């Protein structure tokens, strides 16, 4: 994707946010610095392999900062960069929308999971 040109700002934003767990990483890091284990527990169902990969991508993209304290046992913390913080703030209205419509969204997800022909 050399010389990538985006058609709109949303497309550019999604290029950074692509990945199922990245928005949740931003959400949790926007509230406080986390060690890896804390972040893994907060997010829940993500595998270690996927979370590590997505954290590496976010770090490479300048969204997340990884601080290794060089201690034994290892102490590593993840936080948002200024760029990442601006992206997390942009996601805040989406979080509010999800909170306002949680019940309706739960119904939508339940209907998606029903076998074909059982939708109401």
What per-residue confidence (pLDDT) applies to 117? 63
Model's pTM, two decimal places? 0.83
Tens digit of pLDDT for each residue in 12-57?
Answer: 999 999 889 999 999 999 999 999 999 999 999 999 999 999 999 9
What per-residue confidence (pLDDT) applies to 120? 54
What per-residue confidence (pLDDT) applies to 6? 87
Let me know: does 58 contact 22? Beta carbons within 8 Å. Answer: yes
Q: What is the 3-state secondary structure (H, E, C) of the chain?
A: CCCCCCCCHHHHHHHHHCCCCHHHHHHHHHHCCEEHHHHHHHHCCCCHHHHHHHHHHHHHCCCEEEEECCCCCCCEEEEECHHHHHHHHHHHHHHHHHHHCHHHHHHHHHHHHCCCCCCC
């Amino acid at each position: 994707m050399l010389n990538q040109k985006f058609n709109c700002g949303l497309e550019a934003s999604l290029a950074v946010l692509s990945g199922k767990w990245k928005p949740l990483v931003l959400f949790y890091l926007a509230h406080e610095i986390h060690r890896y284990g804390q972040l893994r527990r907060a997010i829940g169902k993500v595998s270690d392999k996927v979370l590590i990969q997505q954290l590496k991508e976010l770090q490479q993209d300048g969204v997340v900062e990884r601080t290794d304290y060089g201690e034994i046992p290892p102490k590593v913390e993840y936080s948002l960069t200024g760029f990442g913080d601006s992206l997390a703030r942009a996601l805040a209205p989406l979080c509010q929308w999800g909170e306002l419509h949680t019940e309706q969204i739960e119904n939508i997800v339940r209907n998606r999971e029903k076998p074909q022909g059982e939708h109401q």
